[in-house]
Structures are given as structure tokens and as C-alpha cells.
Amino acid sequence: MKFKARVWKVGDNINTDLILPITAFYLTLEEQISYVFKANRPGWAEQVQKGDILIGGKNFGMGSSRPAARSLKNLGLACVVAPYINGLFFRNAVNFAFPALECPGVDEAFDEGDIAEVDVIAARVRNVTKGTELAAKPLPAPLLAIVNAGGIYPLLEKEGSIAPKVTTAAASR
């Protein structure tokens, strides 16, 4: 799983309320994405292109267990890389198949607009613009399996641990 794209940066201590504010929590998934970082970067969600990479600061994703990682994925971001990712956010990212890597120094190695190459399997983050490379903390194999399966629910469905999600078409038969 490799990504190469433009970098967007956010600072330290980004909490889940900045990513998915409570005012957007009960909206549809499509409506929620326009609220991502609306409080600290108005209009940012409209500028993000599918596949872009988010570089977070220290303590990224702190706060509640709300599914903020899902909103970043639904916005079209490929992944997030930060020096330290809050545990609740990290687990939600894995559960929603949104790659999240911890990489010491990544917040200082990139400027917004740089081009990054992120290799999730090899746990490597390269700044193509500046020609530098950093080692990230590898994802443990069980967590990588969840991401590769498309998230925790698709994995549990595949394993037969939970019933498959009923789609509207299937429910109307």
C-alpha cells in the first residue's frame, strides 16, 4: 500500500472535534466531509483532492472516540502521518481502513504542498520535494490485515463473525 501525493499540514494537538465537529455528527457521511477542519481551516475540505496526504503534528487525533478518521477517509485523503497519533483515533483509523502511521519528525520534515511518498507496508515516508526519507512505526500485522480488508466490519463479515451488512436492494427482496 503506497501513496504519492501533495501534503497538507495541520499543527499539534488536533482533536477529533476539529476533524468531525459535534454539529456535523448526525449529518449524512457525505455532508460531514464539508465540516472537516472547518473551525480552523475554513474552505479546506473543498481544496483537498482525492489521494492527498495529511501530515499531522504531535498528539494528532486527541479527544473523543467519535469516528473522525472516517471523515478524513471520506474526504478522499489517502492517509495521515504524524509523530504521535492518539490511541482512540488510531484504532478508529484502522477500523475504518484509513492508514495512519506514526513517524517521528515527520511534522518538521514537510512543508505544506510538498510531495510525499508513503509506503505503509515498509513503514517509510519520503519527502519527494526535499529528497529526504524517514522511518515510520510499522503497523502490526493484525492491524494491517484490518486495513487491507477494508475495515473491521468487512473483515468480520468475511470471517463469518458477523452477518453481512444488508443493503437496501437486498432488504427489499
For the stretch 49-80, pLDDT in tens is 999 999 999 999 998 888 899 999 999 999 99
Cα(131)–Cα(155) distance, rounded to whole angstroms?
37
Flag whether 152 is in a domain: no
End-to-end alpha carbon distance in the chain: 38
Closest CA to 87 of 56, 123, 66, 61: 61
Flag whether 162 is in a domain: no
Which CATH number goes with the domain that contains 101?
A: 3.20.19.10
Per-residue pLDDT for 172 more than 60? no
Flag whether 154 is in a domain: no
Flag whether 172 is in a domain: no
Looking at residue 33, its pLDDT comes to: 92
Flag whether 145 is in a domain: no
Looking at residue 171, its pLDDT comes to: 52
Flag whether 133 is in a domain: yes
Flag whether 58 is in a domain: yes
Flag whether 144 is in a domain: no
- Domain membership of residue 44 as a residue range: 2-138
Using a pLDDT cut of 70, give the percent of the chain over it. Answer: 97
Q: pLDDT per residue over 104-157, tens digit each? A: 999 999 999 999 999 999 999 999 999 999 999 999 999 999 999 998 888 888
Q: How many domains does the chain divide into?
A: 1
- pTM flag (> 0.85): yes
Per-residue pLDDT for 45 more than 60? yes
- The Cβ-side half-sphere exposure at 41, using a 13 Å CA radius, reads 16
At 35, the pLDDT band (50, 70, 90 cuts) reads: very high
